[in-house]
């Protein structure tokens, strides 16, 4: 994958809770989604996923940092050079509150959607 998880900062403080990603190759964020889940004692991910965040289209370059805050806010940049991209999940409470919680980064290669009629 062109993007890696660099850290998950939780502890039930909505204002500081965030996921930090590092871009290792040029890519577009729309190819990625993050799911919050829980680890099992064997390191497997259970079938119960709680939230998903699918990144909007944004070109990122090798060496950039992507920060996804759990709290509410508006996407933008954390610096003038536009190398630290910031996004907000817009949730009202923390999701990484236990040592068993996990962030799963998924690279999406293709998808299909159909409207309900």
| Full strand arrangement of the beta sheet holding 76-77 | 3-9, 18-23, 65-69, 84-88, 76-77
Per residue of the chain (117 residues), give pLDDT as tens: 999 999 999 877 888 999 999 999 999 999 999 998 877 556 666 666 578 999 999 999 999 999 999 999 999 887 788 899 999 999 998 888 888 788 889 999 898 989 999
Please tell us whether the domain made up of 3-107 is placed in CATH 2.40.30.10.
Answer: no
The pLDDT value given to residue 106: 92
Residue ranges of domains in the chain: 3-107
Give me the percent of the chain exceeding a pLDDT of 70.
Answer: 90
Q: How many helices (H) and strands (E) does the chain have?
A: 0, 10
The pLDDT value given to residue 48: 63
The pLDDT value given to residue 81: 83
The pLDDT value given to residue 10: 82
């Amino acid at each position: 994958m062109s993007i890696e998880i660099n850290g998950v900062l939780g502890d039930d403080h909505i204002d500081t809770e965030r996921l930090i990603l590092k871009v290792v190759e040029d890519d577009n964020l729309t190819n990625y989604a993050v799911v919050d889940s829980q680890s099992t004692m064997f390191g497997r991910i259970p079938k119960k996923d709680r939230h998903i965040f699918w990144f909007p289209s944004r070109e990122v370059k090798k060496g950039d940092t992507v920060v996804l805050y759990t709290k509410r806010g508006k996407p933008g940049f954390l610096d003038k050079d536009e190398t630290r991209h910031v996004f907000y999940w817009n949730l009202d409470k923390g999701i990484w509150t236990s040592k068993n919680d996990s962030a799963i980064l998924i690279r999406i290669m293709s998808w299909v959607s159909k409207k309900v009629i």
